[in-house]
Amino acid sequence: MADLEGNSAAKQFHPDVPAASFTHAIRGASNLDWGMQNRLARILDPQTGRTVMLAFDHGYFQGPTSGLERIDLNIAPLAAQADALMCTRGALRTSIPPATQAGLVLRASGGPSILKDLSDEYTAMAMQDAVRVNADAVAVQVFVGGVHESRSIRNLTTLVDEGYAAGIPVLGVTAVGKELVRDARYLGLATRIIAELGAQLVKTYYCDEGFEDVVAGCPVPVIMAGGKKLPELDALTMASRAVRAGAAGVDMGRNIFQSANPAAMMTAVRAVVHDDLDPAEAFELFRSASETTVSA
């Protein structure tokens, strides 16, 4: 019970000042509940509306990946440079310090390993566990055009419904089968389906032609997937083109942790995403940060 003594009567109501209304920088989020918007704001930097998400959930289907042999050694030191981390609950609980301040996107689908058909996934985590570890979103693979397309959509919608109940957003990830073409037509189809079925965030690959239409046609933020390891300048160029075409940032794994200097690459990617630095300048940043790290 507040101490009543010295309690002064309220009198400053500023009747000439309209009530606060929060224009929303996050596409498609203005009608979401406060908790959902708060969690999205822990993933997408409110200043830029973009994210540098560090993906290291690869183990959920391919076991130990080059550069992820020891997540506690390879990844934990990079967490401070990431706006958000994308990982499995197993990697989180065993290898990431609970004091980590980055946003958290938990891998919530799984099933086949790389030895089988990757589209044969199910949901792989209860939403209650995402709540338990303070996740800011859960991630689910969606195999539009894949053998188990409908089941992957069902995985998505199950998590979306559970996410609404818990106030946790869902990141739908377009999984492009080997037989499918990563062009604007396919990516536009897949990202729109994911958004229409309720995901609050979409992750998809970049395409040289028409990516701006893929982004514009998707009513929620599109985050560019890093994909296979490229030379650093190529990865920075791809990230720059993607954000300049409207992507709400990047979710990179191999292009960070398989880089010659992951910390320097995080610095360079952040400069491209949040400061709109040209790729060539960001690459120079990468090189000088690499030299600094080596000499340290």
- Which residues of this protein are in contact with ligand 5RP, per CB under 6 A? 55, 57-58, 86, 173, 175, 225-227, 252-255
Strand, helix or coil for residue 128? helix
Pairing of strands 109-110, 122-123: antiparallel
Closest CB to ligand 5RP among residues 27, 203: 203
**How far apart are CB 253 and ligand 5RP at their closest, in Å?**
3
Closest CB to ligand 5RP among residues 90, 227: 227
Closest CB to ligand 5RP among residues 25, 52: 52
Residue of 91, 98, 29 whose CA lies nearest to 55: 91
Q: What are phi and psi of 243, to 5 degrees?
A: -70, -30
Closest CB to ligand 5RP among residues 25, 105: 105
Secondary structure element (H or E) that encloses residue 41, with its range? helix 34-41
Beta strands in 78-234 (DSSP E): 84-87, 103-107, 109-110, 122-123, 137-142, 170-174, 201-204, 222-225
Pairing of strands 249-252, 170-174: unpaired
Token pair recorded at residue 36: 């959902």
Angstrom distance (rounded) from CA 59 to CA 69? 10
Pairing of strands 170-174, 201-204: parallel
The set of catalytic residues is: 203
Closest CB to ligand 5RP among residues 239, 264: 239
**How far apart are CB 34 and ligand 5RP at their closest, in Å?**
28
Strand, helix or coil for residue 206? coil
